[in-house]
A and B are shown apart, each in its own frame.
Chain A
Amino acid sequence: MLGAAGVVLVLCTAVLAACSSGDDNKVVVYSGRSTDLIKPVLDRFAAETGISVDFKQGDSADLALTIEQEGERSPADVFISQSPGATAYLDDKGLLRPLPQSTLDRVAAEDRAGDGNWVGLSGRVRVLVYNTDLVSPDDLPATVEELTGAAYQGKVGMAPTNGSFQDFVSAMRISEGDDATTAWLEGMAANDVKTYANNNAVVDAVIRGEVPMGLANHYYLLRALEDDPDAPAANHVFADDVGSVEIVSTASVLAGAQHTPQAERLVDFLLSDETQRYFADETFEYPVVAGVPPAATVPELAAEQVLRVDFDELGSEFASTVTMIRDAGLTR
Chain B
Amino acid sequence: MTAVAAPPAATGRVRRPEVAGVVQPRLPRAPRRLAALGVAIAVLFAAPMGFLVVRTAGLGGDTVLETLTDDALTPLLWSLGLGAAVALSAAAIGVGLAWCTTRTDLPGRRAAAVLGPLPLVVPSYVGAAALVAGFAPGGLVADLVSPLGITPPEIGGFWGAWFVLSAFSYPYVYLPVAARLAELPPSLEESARLLGRGPRQVFTSVVLPQARTAVAAGTLLVFLYTISDFGAVSIMGAPTLTNEIFQAKLVPELWLPLASLLGAVALVVVAAERALARRRVAVSGVQVRRAMQVPLGRWRWPVALVVWGWFGAALAAPVLVLVLWVVRGVLGAGSPSATVLAPGGLLAPAASTVGVSVAAALATMALVLPVAYLTVRYRSRAGGTANTVVVGAFALPGLVVALALVFWTLKADALAWLYQTIPLLVFAYTVHFGAQGLRAAQVAVGSVPTRFDDAGAVLGASRSRRLRTIDLPLMARGLGAGLGLVLLSAMKELPATLLLAPPGFETLATRIWAASDSHQLAQLGVASLVLLALSGPLTWVLVIRPGRRR
Binding site for B on A (CB under 8 A): 1, 4-5, 8-9, 11-12, 15-16, 19-20, 28, 34-37, 54-59, 61-66, 69-71, 73, 75, 85-86, 89, 161, 195-198, 200-201, 203-205, 207-210, 220, 223-224, 226-229, 282-283, 318-319, 322-323, 326, 331-332
Task: Please give me the residue from chain A that is nearest to B504 by CB atom.
Answer: A55
- A62 adjacent to B505 (CB under 8 Å): no
The 8 lowest CB-CB distance pairs between A and B, nearest first, are: A208-B138, A54-B503, A34-B514, A58-B498, A19-B502, A161-B247, A223-B519, A209-B138
A56 touches B498 (CB 8 A): yes
Tell whether B518 is near chain A: CB-to-CB under 8 Å: yes
The yes or no answer to B59 lying at the interface (CB within 8 A) is no
- Chain B hits for A332, CB < 8 A: 234, 237, 239, 243, 247
Evaluate contact between A11 and B506: CB separation under 8 angstroms. no
Known: A19-B421, A36-B518. A208 touches B426 (CB 8 A): no
Instruction: Report the Cα distance A198→B517, complex, angstroms.
Output: 10
Q: Is the CB of B399 within 8 A of A62?
A: yes
Task: Tell me whether B112 is interfacial, beta carbon within 8 Å.
Answer: no
Q: Once the chains are docked, how many angstroms separate the CA of A208 from the CA of B355?
A: 40
CB-CB contacts of B401-421 with A at 8 A, as 1s and 0s? 011001100100000100111
Cβ of B137 under 8 Å from chain A: yes
In the assembled complex, which residues on chain B have CB atoms less than 8 Å from the CB atom of A56? 420, 498-499, 503-504
Contact between B399 and A57, CB atoms less than 8 A apart: no
Measured between alpha carbons, how far is A57 from B504 in the docked complex, in Å? 8
Q: Which residues of B contact A19 (CB under 8 A)?
A: 421-422, 502-505
How far is A210 from B244 in the complex, measured between Cα atoms in Å?
25
Q: How far is the CA of A11 from the CA of B360 in the complex (A)?
A: 13
Give which listed residue, A55, A70, A224, A228, contacts B406 with CB less than 8 A: A70
Decide yes or no whether B522 CB sits under 8 A from chain A.
yes
CA distance A34 to B340 in the complex (A): 14
A4 to B538, CA, bound (A): 12
Residues of A within 8 A of B246 (CB): 161
What's the nearest-Cβ distance from chain B to residue A189, in Å? Answer: 14
Chain A positions within 8 Å of B139 at CB level: 208
Q: Which residue of A lies closest to B358 (CB)?
A: A8
Asked whether A64 lies within 8 Å of B250 as measured between CB atoms, the reply is yes
Contacts of A15 in B (CB 8 A): 352, 355, 422, 502, 505
Question: Which A residues are in CB contact (< 8 Å) with B517?
Answer: 34, 36
Contacting pair A229 B136 (CB below 8 A): no
Cβ–Cβ < 8 Å partners of A318 in chain B: 250
Given A69-B406, A227-B519, verify A331-B502 contact (CB < 8 Å).
no
Docked CA distance A56–B243 (Å)? 25
Residues of chain A lying within 8 A (CB to CB) of residue B503:
19, 28, 54-56
A62 touches B502 (CB 8 A): no
The closest CB in chain A to the CB of B359 belongs to: A8
Cα distance, A4 to B521, chains bound together (Å): 34
Contact A4 B362 (CB under 8 A): yes
Main secondary structure of the interface of A (DSSP, over half): helix
CA distance A70 to B409 in the complex (A): 9
User: What residues on B are CB-neighbors of A229 within 8 Å?
Assistant: 332
Instruction: Convert B503-528 into 0s and 1s, putting 1 for each residue whose CB lies closer than 8 angstroms to a CB of A.
Output: 11110001001111111111100000
> Could you say which of B235, B329, B515 contacts A36, with CB atoms under 8 Å apart?
B515
User: Nearest-CB distance from B506 to chain A (Å)?
Assistant: 7
Q: Is the CB of B251 within 8 A of A34?
A: no
Chain B positions within 8 Å of A73 at CB level: 410, 416, 419
What CA separation (Å) do A207 and B519 show in the bound complex?
Answer: 14
Residue numbers in B under 8 Å from A70 (CB-CB): 406, 410
The verdict on B8 contacting chain A, using a C-beta distance below 8 Å, is no
Tell me if B387 counts as interface (CB < 8 A to partner A). no
Does A57 contact B514, Cβ atoms closer than 8 Å?
A: yes
Contact between chains at A69 and B251 (CB < 8 Å): no
- Inter-chain contact A66/B515, CB cutoff 8 Å: no
Q: In the complex the two chains form, is A71's CB within 8 Å of B410's CB?
A: yes
Are A223 and B518 touching (Cβ within 8 A)? yes
Known A-B contacts: A4-B362, A226-B337. Give 14 more (CB < 8 A). Answer: A8-B362, A36-B515, A55-B504, A65-B403, A69-B403, A73-B410, A75-B420, A204-B132, A208-B139, A227-B325, A227-B328, A227-B519, A229-B332, A323-B251
Tell me the complex Cα distance, A69–B244, Å: 20
Tell me which residues across on chain B come within 8 A of A37, comparing CB atoms.
Answer: 518
CA distance A220 to B522 in the complex (A): 15
Assembled-state Cα–Cα distance A283/B336 (Å) = 11
Given A161-B234, A227-B520, A331-B239, A210 contacting B137 (CB threshold 8 A): yes
Q: Would A226 and B335 be within 8 Å (CB), given that A11-B355, A19-B421 are in contact?
A: yes
Q: Which of B332, B421, B498 contacts A16, CB < 8 Å? A: B421
Given the interface pairs A89-B250, A227-B520, A332-B237, the reply to whether A204 lies near B504 with Cβ below 8 Å is no
Residues from chain A with a CB closer than 8 A to the CB of B235 are 197, 201
Encoded as 1 (CB less than 8 Å from any A CB) or 0, chain B from 213 to 251 comes to 000000000000000000000110101000110111111
Instruction: Check B495 for interface membership: any CB of A closer than 8 A.
Output: yes
Residues of A within 8 Å of B441, CB to CB, are none
Q: List 15 A-B contacts (CB under 8 A).
A: A12-B355, A15-B355, A36-B340, A36-B515, A62-B498, A65-B399, A75-B420, A204-B132, A208-B139, A209-B138, A210-B138, A227-B332, A228-B328, A323-B251, A331-B247
Please state if A227 and B137 are interface contacts (CB–CB under 8 Å).
no
Give Cα distance in the complex from A5 to B246, angstroms.
36
A319 to B256, CA, bound (A): 14
- Asked if B254 is at the interface (CB within 8 A of a chain A CB), the reply is yes
A5 to B: closest C-beta gap in Å: 5
The docked-state distance in angstroms from the alpha carbon of A227 to that of B522 is 8
Return A251 CB to nearest CB of chain B, in Å.
Answer: 17
Given A228-B328, A332-B237, are A34 and B513 neighbors across the interface (CB < 8 Å)?
yes
Are A5 and B328 within 8 A (Cβ)? no
- Compute how far the CA of A322 lies from the CA of B251 in the bound complex, rounded to whole angstroms: 8
Measured between alpha carbons, how far is A201 from B129 in the docked complex, in Å? 8
A220 CA to B516 CA, complexed, in Å: 11
Flag whether B536 is at the interface (Cβ < 8 A): no
Q: Cβ of B96: which chain A residues have Cβ within 8 Å of it?
A: none
Q: Which residues of B contact A8 (CB under 8 A)?
A: 355, 358-359, 362
Q: Give chain B nearest CB distance to A30 CB in angstroms.
A: 9
Q: B34 contacts which chain A residues (CB < 8 A)?
A: none
How far, in whole Å, are A318 and B336 apart by their CA atoms in the complex? 36
- How many Å lie between the Cα of A37 and that of B138 in the bound state? 30
A198 CA to B137 CA, complexed, in Å: 18
A69 touches B514 (CB 8 A): no
Residue B133 is within 8 A (CB to CB) of chain A in the complex:
yes
A226 to B419, CA, bound (A): 39
Q: Contacts A35-B506, A62-B499 given: A12-B250 contact, CB under 8 Å? A: no
Task: Encode contact with A along B112-140: 1 for CB under 8 Å, 0 otherwise.
Answer: 00000000000000000100110011110
Alpha-carbon distance between A298 and B57 when the two chains are bound, in angstroms: 49
Question: Of all chain A residues, which has the CB nearest B511?
Answer: A35
Complex Cα gap A309–B538 (Å): 53
B69 CB to nearest A CB, Å: 15
B186 at the interface (CB under 8 A from A): no
- Across-interface contacts of B249 in A (CB, < 8 A): 61-62, 65
Interface pair B498/A69, CB less than 8 Å apart: no
Mask, B55-70, CB within 8 Å of A = 1, is: 0000000000000000
B423 touches A (CB below 8 Å): yes
- Chain B residues with CB under 8 A of A69: 403, 406-407, 410
Rounded to whole angstroms, the CA-CA distance of A208 and B155 in the bound complex is 14
Contacts of B426 in A (CB 8 A): 12
Q: Are A210 and B136 in contact (CB under 8 A)?
A: yes
Residue ID in chain B nearest A16 by CB atoms: B422
Q: Are A220 and B519 in contact (CB-based, < 8 A)?
A: yes
In the complex, what residues of A have CB within 8 A of residue B513's CB? 34
* CA distance in complex: A204, B335 (Å): 19
Distance, CA A239 to CA B519, complexed state (A): 26
